[in-house]
Chains A and B, each alone.
Chain A
Amino acid sequence: MPNDKYANMEEKLWILEDLNMMYIRQIALSLQDSDIQKKIDHEIRMRDGACKLLAACSQREQALEAAKSLQTCSTRIMAYMSELQRMKEAQVMQSVPRRSSDAGPMEERLPCKGKVAISDLRIPLMWKDTEYFKNKGELHRCAVFCLLQLGGEIFDTDMVIVDRTLTDICFDNTIVFNKAGPGFELRVELYSCCSEDDYSAGSTPRKLASKLSSSLGRSAGKKLKAAMEPGPCSPVSNGGASPLLLPVPSVPGPKYHLLAHTSLSLSHIQDGFRTHDLTISGNEECSYWLPLYGSMCCRLVAQPHCMTQQMMSGYLKVKQCGGDPQSWTKVYADLKGTSLFCYHRQEDVDANVELAFTIGINKETRIRASEKDPQSKVQQICVSNQYGGEEVTHILSAESREDTHRWMEAFWQHFYDMSQWKQCCDNLMKIELPSPRKPAPITPKQGSLYHEMVIESSDDLSCTVSDILARRMQELELRSQLGMSPTWMSMFEENNTKPAAFPRQCPSRLSGHSPCSPHRPPRSPASPPRCPRLGLLSSDASLTSDSDSHCSTSPCSHHRGWPDPSSNLSLVSTSPFGLRPRTLSLDAKLSTLRGRGYGGGGGGAAFQCPCQPPSSSLLAPLPISSRSPRSQRGMQTTLSCSSSTSSNSSSNSEGSHSPESSEGVLFSRPSPARRSLRNLRARLDPRNWLQSQV
């Protein structure tokens, strides 16, 4: 009976695992290295936790994350164990008495270690056109992440969900390995897991599921078949190491498979982005397949310790060759990076006081020991550099013979390091660590608004749209509060050239506006620097005129009325033009949005209708600003309220966006970004009835 067999297998596996653990513990004990053992124990605990979490998960996302941690833990365990074995072997080898012919130089010069950082990983995808533009059918999604391994350190990146709307897989993490030698090998592995489980758990929304036809399409059927049968793509969860040593317990749930891998080493390091080839495993038939372009882009840099740390320091007497024989300068010298920094006193090093001078120590420097100084009987060190064709030599004299010896040793070590680390020692490469403050998860995985829209039959379409807009505003706010406003936001802050003649009125409502002021926590009422933004908010302000009383009341005083439908144009409650009731809710929603500063760019045309007869008749009574004759004709976007409160600006309630034919704009022609943003907002807002000036 198959069930029994499986049960037996599982039991056997568990027993094996226990045995393995004992074996490992023994090795660790014998090595008297409890460090690795602690790490292994830790990882095993993490792995057990991940297994339990996986079993208990109901949500797909959680399950994927748990599976990812499971994979990482397993790989780490494998790595630690191989490390243990290596150490054991080394120990065994050492205890065997060496034959004299085997003995190499007892003290081999070892290069210094360094930090290696990899960041901005990007893996381009190559979807077929048909896939990319396919509008029907469910999205084939995969969850992917990268495992990076260098020496004994293994790190994983965040998980990214990939589907055919993405052109590249981007991992934003910066991973730093601290103890890398120059001969390092950084192994990058891309794991992926199919993220649709429409066939198994009922995670498909019921409505959608009911709509899906019952028959499986050809590709879907193939995938299902591949998932069912173990084939060439069947999960091999351990990285190829001996399968019996701590096998991964099989847990139901998503499993990651190796999709591609590559190895990076010193030659791939560059202070910039480079493309590397990926070796892809798996083929189209696999469920976890993604059409990779075949390469990977990343920034791989290294900071060897010889560049960042102080290699040697001490007091020296320095004399420049060709100078006065008696002009010895006593300095405190500090060997770091590509120079020997000479300070007047030791305290200066930390105090960052200006150096006495600097002697370059780089690949072109030549150092040799010269004859003993007749007086002190100490050998002198000559350092020669080529400065633009001229050879400059400095003579260093240490205080004692041991010091001289140590300095020479330090110089030799330094040269050796530089020869080993090669291009990393030319300049110090910067490693940017991600800021400790994690930005709020803002960008939705799919960029388009339409993907976010969930149309439920019962809900009002307008509610949905305004909800989405509200959410976006929240996100924007969040982002701006964290100081990470999108680039176009900076446009708003810079534009302070608005004329002072600007509407004050608008009340508390407007005061609460604009997400464009990242560091202004309490919303203060409108002040001059805010004017630019106020201008942009014009149509929004006017938008609320329907539902909000204050903005609308004042205009009513200037109510010129339309030729025709003028009478009922005050508040929406009277439903002008037969506006259907649902517009009311949209208004209300939008007014709350306004309160939160919706529309950093909402200059799109608002139909000011109810309260803003935009006709020229309204403009007449306004004190026209100096720009006037033009301004009458074509104000782009200004506050509607202003018109009512008779501010000086010749305001026109119409927002417009005909950049080609505009003139007399109140502020300098809006930059394309702002214009497009405004356009976008205007278009998104169904409440707007666009008007353009021609």
Chain B
Amino acid sequence: MSFVPGQPVTAVVQRIEIQKLRQGENLILGFSIGGGIDQDPGQNPFSEDKTDKGIYVTRISPGGPAEVAGLMMGDKIMQVNGWDMTMVTHDQARKKLTKQKEDVVRLLITRKSLEDVVSQSKGQNPRPGCFTYKH
């Protein structure tokens, strides 16, 4: 999941659609994020590359909308509703996720296990593919 600045990023991603849950007067997703270009990437326990300043999922509330949708801890969020999350500050990321006017967020996430599966299957299938499957 490392990237070379200036070069396009390729990653195996999974689409996850989370329906926000209304709690009181808030719409919540049920997970926590960490990271951002203004944060210290060295403290991210989930990233493989310790210079990766992306947004990662650090916690999933059990039974929450995120868990139901298939989000897992350690996932790196690449896009939220079309907005890029690979080069944003922590606060910008949070804002994109917590827009009160939207009640569903469509995330593009990537995780190590996806890459692994793809590279494994590459051995059987010469063409790498982006495929979605639910855990």
Instruction: Collect the chain B residues with CB atoms within 8 Å of residue A615's CB.
Output: 59, 73
Known: A577-B45, A577-B50, A614-B58. A694 touches B23 (CB 8 A): no
Q: How far is the CB of A296 from chain B (nearest CB, A)?
A: 41
Could you give 20 example pairs across A and B, Cβ below 8 Å? A563-B73, A564-B74, A580-B42, A607-B43, A615-B73, A616-B60, A616-B62, A632-B62, A654-B58, A654-B59, A658-B98, A663-B23, A686-B40, A690-B90, A691-B34, A692-B32, A692-B93, A693-B32, A694-B28, A694-B97
Interface members, chain A 62-121 (any B CB < 8 Å): none
Q: How far is the CB of A496 from chain B (nearest CB, A)?
A: 24
Give complex CA distance A607, B34 in Å: 9
Instruction: Collect the chain B residues with CB atoms within 8 Å of residue A687's CB.
Output: 40
A661 touching B29, Cβ below 8 Å:
yes
B100 touching A691, Cβ below 8 Å:
no
B59 touching A661, Cβ below 8 Å:
no
B26 touching A663, Cβ below 8 Å:
yes
Q: How far is the CB of B85 from chain A (nearest CB, A)?
A: 12
B26 touching A662, Cβ below 8 Å:
yes
Instruction: Choose one: A576, A607, A634; the contact of B61 (CB below 8 Å).
Output: A634
Instruction: Collect the chain A residues with CB atoms within 8 Å of residue B24's CB.
Output: 663
A562 touching B23, Cβ below 8 Å:
no
Give complex CA distance A580, B40 in Å: 12
Most buried by B among A563, A580, A632, A634: A634
Instruction: Collect the chain B residues with CB atoms within 8 Å of residue A344's CB.
Output: none
Flag whether B106 is at the interface (Cβ < 8 A).
no
Instruction: Collect the chain A residues with CB atoms within 8 Å of residue B27's CB.
Output: 661
Q: Which residue of B lies closest to A654 (CB)?
A: B32
Number of interface residues of B (CB under 8 A): 37
Interface residues, chain B, with chain A CB atoms under 8 Å away: 23-24, 26-36, 38-40, 42-46, 50, 58-62, 64, 73-74, 90-91, 93-94, 97-98, 100
Flag whether A565 is at the interface (Cβ < 8 A).
yes
Known: A689-B34, A694-B31. A633 touches B64 (CB 8 A): yes
Instruction: Collect the chain A residues with CB atoms within 8 Å of residue B40's CB.
Output: 686-687, 689
Q: Which residue of A lies closest to B59 (CB)?
A: A614
Give complex CA distance A691, B59 in Å: 9
Flag whether A4 is at the interface (Cβ < 8 A).
no
Known: A633-B64, A634-B61. A692 touches B50 (CB 8 A): no
Task: List the 3 closest A-B pairs by CB distance, nearest first.
Answer: A689-B43, A633-B61, A691-B34
Number of interface residues of A (CB under 8 A): 35
A694 touching B29, Cβ below 8 Å:
yes
Most buried by A among B36, B38, B58: B58
B74 touching A563, Cβ below 8 Å:
yes
Contact with B along A616-658 (1 / 0, CB 8 A): 1000000000000010111000000000000000000010101
Flag whether A660 is at the interface (Cβ < 8 A).
yes
Instruction: Collect the chain B residues with CB atoms within 8 Å of residue A580's CB.
Output: 42
Flag whether A579 is at the interface (Cβ < 8 A).
yes
Give complex CA distance A656, B94 in Å: 11
Instruction: Collect the chain A residues with CB atoms within 8 Å of residue B62's CB.
Output: 616, 632
Q: Which residue of A lies closest to B31 (CB)?
A: A694
B32 touching A661, Cβ below 8 Å:
no
B45 touching A692, Cβ below 8 Å:
no
Instruction: Choose one: B39, B45, B100; the contact of A609 (CB below 8 Å).
Output: B45
A692 touching B90, Cβ below 8 Å:
yes
Q: How far is the CB of B98 from chain A (nearest CB, A)?
A: 5
Contact with B along A678-694 (1 / 0, CB 8 A): 00000100110111111
Instruction: Collect the chain A residues with CB atoms within 8 Å of residue B90's CB.
Output: 690, 692
Q: How far is the CB of B63 from chain A (nearest CB, A)?
A: 8
Contact with B along A569-603 (1 / 0, CB 8 A): 00000001111100000000000000000000000
B42 touching A691, Cβ below 8 Å:
no
Give complex CA distance A327, B21 in Å: 83
Extra inter-chain contacts (7) besides given A662-B26, A689-B39, A692-B91, CB under 8 Å: A577-B50, A605-B34, A607-B43, A614-B59, A632-B62, A687-B40, A693-B59
